[in-house]
Structure 1
Amino acid sequence: MFKTLRNAYKIPDLRKRLMYTLMMLVVIRLGAVIPVPGVDASIIKNWFDTQNEMFSLFDAMTGGAFADMSLFAMGIIPYITASIIMNLLTIAIPKLEEIQKEDEDGRQKINKYTRYLTVALALIQSTATAIGFGRGGLIRPYNTFNVLVFILATTAGTALLMWIGERITEKGIGNGISLIILINILSRLPIDIRIVYNQIILGNELIVNILLITLVLAVFIAMVAFVVALQVGERRIPVQYAKKMQGRKAVGGQSTHIPLKVNTAGVIPVIFASSLLQFPAVIRRFFPGEPAGFWARFFDFINYTNWTGAILYAVLIIFFAYFYTSITFNPIEVANNMKKNGGFVPGIRPGKPTIDYLNKIVNNIVLVGALGLTIIAIIPIIVQGAYALQISFLGTSLIIVVGVALETVKQIEAQMLMRHYKGFLKS
């Protein structure tokens, strides 16, 4: 990875892209520490320190901006949500599906709709946050002016983050939105390490400290290796194209493959599952008093620090892995495209047999990927329950960091390879 970055820095064009990306990431971190006018961040931060289990993932993806109630408090989450909604709508609405298939013009229209939806979602999210925190006494003074300032500032912050992400994708290196999440998570790593260090050192004997530190390092290294294997693992389905005569020439006959990633859905299932489980608990915080009776048992049941909540968490991850994969990968469309171009899977007849074969392969792969995601998401919960350690840089955050880092390095290598071929052709 570091060798790739060093070699890329030697190429003038790539060096400009790397510096542009670095500059934009600095702007992102500066915006994460600019406070929203009229809001006392210290009050919210003190409250957040006692409730961080509810917002740990969200705060990590905003780089601590949510806990500090800064300009980027809403983060890039509304854009991610808007993108997912647009993907779902393009499948459900035929008109949007037609627009998406219009090559570049269709892609630009979908991106425009996504931007509008992002601003709308950011407006709704910031309004709900301002009203919820204001009624809870966390915004002082709680008046119309402060609420409007908070809503406009945080919505504008999300719009600015969206613009920066698109500029990084266009003029920098890698996917801008993914890099925003990456730099935000990494910015919290020193604080997380300090928290874990204090939890281990305070109140324990020396031998116990050494054992716990060794355990945490071993778990971390093992999970990094496991995440890398899960991210790069793929099943290659061989495809053979039949030869055909065009005039006096025979064309076709190539052998290729369809790469199916083991972790087809990425980190989306974990985000969906954790958000669904945390949503009732977040809503509960906006009401005074503690729940009793049925509601107390309900919130205890869905708390994934308990064994019932952990099992429900795992089931939801597997469910959303299958759900999201069914949206992003269509075996019928793949089989029809292969048939139109004269391609077939060796030993499998074109048409329905090919569709059934692809469905079987995808279902098996998704199961393996979903189980891998479940293991990664559950291990921090087990460690926290066994040793009372809150390790937030494992689990979902680790999947995001490793996945984005691998994808960015691949894009840099592709850019270098493309320029190598251009230089070869010019010579």
Structure 2
Amino acid sequence: MAGFTESIRNIWKIEELRQRVLYTLGLLVVYRLGTYVTLPGVDAHILAEVNRQAGTNNLFGLIDLFVGGAFSQAGIFALGIMPYITASIIIQLMGAVVPYFQKLQREGEEGRRKITQLTRYLTVAITALQAVGYAINLRYGATGQAIVVSPAFFMLIAVIVLTAGTVFVMWLGERITENGIGNGISLIIMVSIIAFLPQAVYNEFTLKDNLFIVLLELAVFVVITAGVVLVTQGTRRIPVQYAKRVVGRRVYGGVTQYLPLRVNAAGVMPIIFAQSIMFVPATIATFFPGSDFMQQFGSFFSDISGWGYSSLFFLLVVFFTYFYTAIAVNPREMADTLKRQGGFIPGVRPGKQTSEFIDTILTRITLPGAIFLGIVAIIPAFAMRAGVTAGFAHFFGGTSLLIIVGVMLDTLQQIESHLLMRHYEGFMKGSRVRGRRF
């Protein structure tokens, strides 16, 4: 505990790090305040009473979790950052099959700038489409009595405000990433999720008569969290030998180092991608309130505790784990870098064989990581069947826990890097945090 306190004190000693942390916290506070601003034309008191009496649909409750309560409160940030995530998925998928986007990916910084611009435009289009569905559901659902203006005016103003709200949240995330600490988009999602945690734990204690059951649930929660941290930080070390080089009077190389490959190289993104995809069919179904087929189609993607939903979610997580790993880790580039630096893997020829060797190992270690992420992602469904309240079940595993753990570790590692660059001890002395040891 003394070491942790010392690390916190060291953060405030470094002016740049202190400013980045305060800047990040300030923008996150702005985002949280915005979730409580209700859409024009909606009576917040009537809406709160309707939600209290009617309860919340499972899917809508999950969406509400990712936007910090703005969805159920008809806030200006009701759609949150998820349209941006959806747009990013589409652009990355197109980068794998469309030659134009493949060309942009090879153009370096200029290509990335163009892809970012296209992602923003697509975010606006997706947000406007989802805003129409949200406004229709709000106007013609049980919450319709909370609308105090004409339907046409409400539809127009809701689409404009919701689209502007998502663009503003996207801007906040980009500013945090550029001038703050951590990944801004991920931090916004994590803060939205954590906002529900205190109330969920309190409800679990008050609604359960058996204290032993609650303590057992918390113990399982701790074990699952430890497992997620273990897999997130797990690496496969490949030995790399560097040849001796004489530069002037100094000798370089001749030592064995290690190339660390993460078991979960994709991080938290597969979960976010899969969840965004699962939101789309239910959103489309809201456009057809009178169609029985579309309502049944939407109900399949609304029942998060159903076997069909869980199975499809599991497969999507596994798929996106491999997909994002293929994007994030390039074995050919790693092999070329080793060759240029005079390094080689013992028993493997430099060049193509090294690339194939790294790719084979990466494929093997990604499989257990992908399966583990898929299992953890669907644990809330089993927790709800076992009697855990829906609010706490979302934190019991699944998307919420994976996002919180992944984002917290990534943010701590960035703070750790700032501390170590200035010869301060970080948060995780003696640990095997990636980036500190290697």
TM-score normalised over the length of structure 1:
0.84
Distance in 1 (CA, whole Å) between partners of 2:281 and 2:136 is 17
- Aligned equivalent of 1:239: 240
Of 298-307 and 26-35, more deviation after overlay is shown by: 298-307
Distance in 2 (CA, whole Å) between partners of 1:284 and 1:110 is 30
After TM superposition, give the deviation of residue 314 of structure 1 in Å. Answer: 2.7
Cα RMSD of the aligned pairs, angstroms, is: 3.3
Distance in 1 (CA, whole Å) between partners of 2:88 and 2:274 is 18
* Counterpart secondary structure, 1:321: helix
Distance in 2 (CA, whole Å) between partners of 1:102 and 1:149 is 40
The answer to whether the 8 Å contact 1:269/1:321 transfers is yes
Distance in 1 (CA, whole Å) between partners of 2:91 and 2:315 is 25
Of 75-84 and 283-292, more deviation after overlay is shown by: 283-292
Q: Check 1:189–1:96 CA distance in 2 against 1; reply closer, same or farther (3 A cut).
A: same
After TM superposition, give the deviation of residue 113 of structure 1 in Å. Answer: 2.9
Distance in 1 (CA, whole Å) between partners of 2:394 and 2:92 is 29
Q: Does 1:84 align with 2:102?
A: no
- AA partner of residue 222 (structure 1): V
After TM superposition, give the deviation of residue 192 of structure 1 in Å. Answer: 1.8
After TM superposition, give the deviation of residue 65 of structure 1 in Å. Answer: 1.0
- AA partner of residue 34 (structure 2): G
Q: Check 1:3–1:385 CA distance in 2 against 1; reply closer, same or farther (3 A cut).
A: farther
Runs of 5+ in structure 1 lacking a partner? 422-427
Distance in 2 (CA, whole Å) between partners of 1:106 and 1:359 is 26
- Map 1:143-292 to 2 at 5 A: 143-200=151-208, 204=209, 209-243=210-244, 253=254, 255-277=256-278, 279-284=280-285, 287-288=288-289
Q: Check 1:152–1:418 CA distance in 2 against 1; reply closer, same or farther (3 A cut).
A: same
After TM superposition, give the deviation of residue 179 of structure 1 in Å. Answer: 1.5
The answer to whether the 8 Å contact 1:42/1:68 transfers is no
The answer to whether the 8 Å contact 1:244/1:250 transfers is yes
- Aligned equivalent of 1:28: 31
Deviations 1:300-347 (A, max 9, x none): 699452445434433332233223323333333433444455432221
Q: Check 1:268–1:55 CA distance in 2 against 1; reply closer, same or farther (3 A cut).
A: farther
Q: Check 1:360–1:163 CA distance in 2 against 1; reply closer, same or farther (3 A cut).
A: same
Of 212-221 and 93-102, more deviation after overlay is shown by: 93-102
Distance in 2 (CA, whole Å) between partners of 1:126 and 1:280 is 14
Q: Check 1:91–1:146 CA distance in 2 against 1; reply closer, same or farther (3 A cut).
A: same
Of 84-93 and 316-325, more deviation after overlay is shown by: 84-93
Q: Does 1:323 align with 2:339?
A: no
- Aligned equivalent of 2:394: 392
After TM superposition, give the deviation of residue 35 of structure 1 in Å. Answer: 0.8
Deviations 1:32-58 (A, max 9, x none): 101111124456653596343112332
Distance in 1 (CA, whole Å) between partners of 2:280 and 2:174 is 29
Of 253-262 and 385-394, more deviation after overlay is shown by: 253-262
Deviations 1:284-303 (A, max 9, x none): 455447958x9869956994
* Counterpart secondary structure, 1:240: strand
Distance in 2 (CA, whole Å) between partners of 1:403 and 1:281 is 27
Of 107-116 and 271-280, more deviation after overlay is shown by: 271-280
- AA partner of residue 156 (structure 2): L
After TM superposition, give the deviation of residue 68 of structure 1 in Å. Answer: 0.9
The answer to whether the 8 Å contact 1:90/1:97 transfers is yes
Deviations 1:67-103 (A, max 9, x none): 1111111111122223333333344345544544555
After TM superposition, give the deviation of residue 274 of structure 1 in Å. Answer: 4.2
The answer to whether the 8 Å contact 2:238/2:260 transfers is yes
Q: Check 1:171–1:298 CA distance in 2 against 1; reply closer, same or farther (3 A cut).
A: closer
The answer to whether the 8 Å contact 1:302/1:312 transfers is no
The answer to whether the 8 Å contact 2:231/2:369 transfers is yes
Find the partner of 1:14 among 9, 12, 17: 17
Q: Check 1:97–1:246 CA distance in 2 against 1; reply closer, same or farther (3 A cut).
A: farther
- Aligned equivalent of 2:355: 355
- AA partner of residue 83 (structure 1): S
After TM superposition, give the deviation of residue 243 of structure 1 in Å. Answer: 4.7
Of 50-59 and 104-113, more deviation after overlay is shown by: 104-113
The alignment of Structure 1 onto Structure 2 pairs a total of residues equal to 413
The answer to whether the 8 Å contact 2:86/2:273 transfers is no
- Aligned equivalent of 1:371: 371
Distance in 1 (CA, whole Å) between partners of 2:289 and 2:109 is 51
Q: Check 1:375–1:3 CA distance in 2 against 1; reply closer, same or farther (3 A cut).
A: farther
The answer to whether the 8 Å contact 2:318/2:371 transfers is yes
Distance in 2 (CA, whole Å) between partners of 1:411 and 1:192 is 30
- Aligned equivalent of 2:429: none
Q: Check 1:269–1:330 CA distance in 2 against 1; reply closer, same or farther (3 A cut).
A: same
Find the partner of 2:78 among 48, 69, 73: 73
Distance in 1 (CA, whole Å) between partners of 2:347 and 2:336 is 17
Q: Check 1:297–1:20 CA distance in 2 against 1; reply closer, same or farther (3 A cut).
A: closer
- Map 1:92-103 to 2 at 5 A: 92-103=97-108
- Aligned equivalent of 2:8: 5
After TM superposition, give the deviation of residue 188 of structure 1 in Å. Answer: 1.5
Q: Check 1:259–1:157 CA distance in 2 against 1; reply closer, same or farther (3 A cut).
A: same
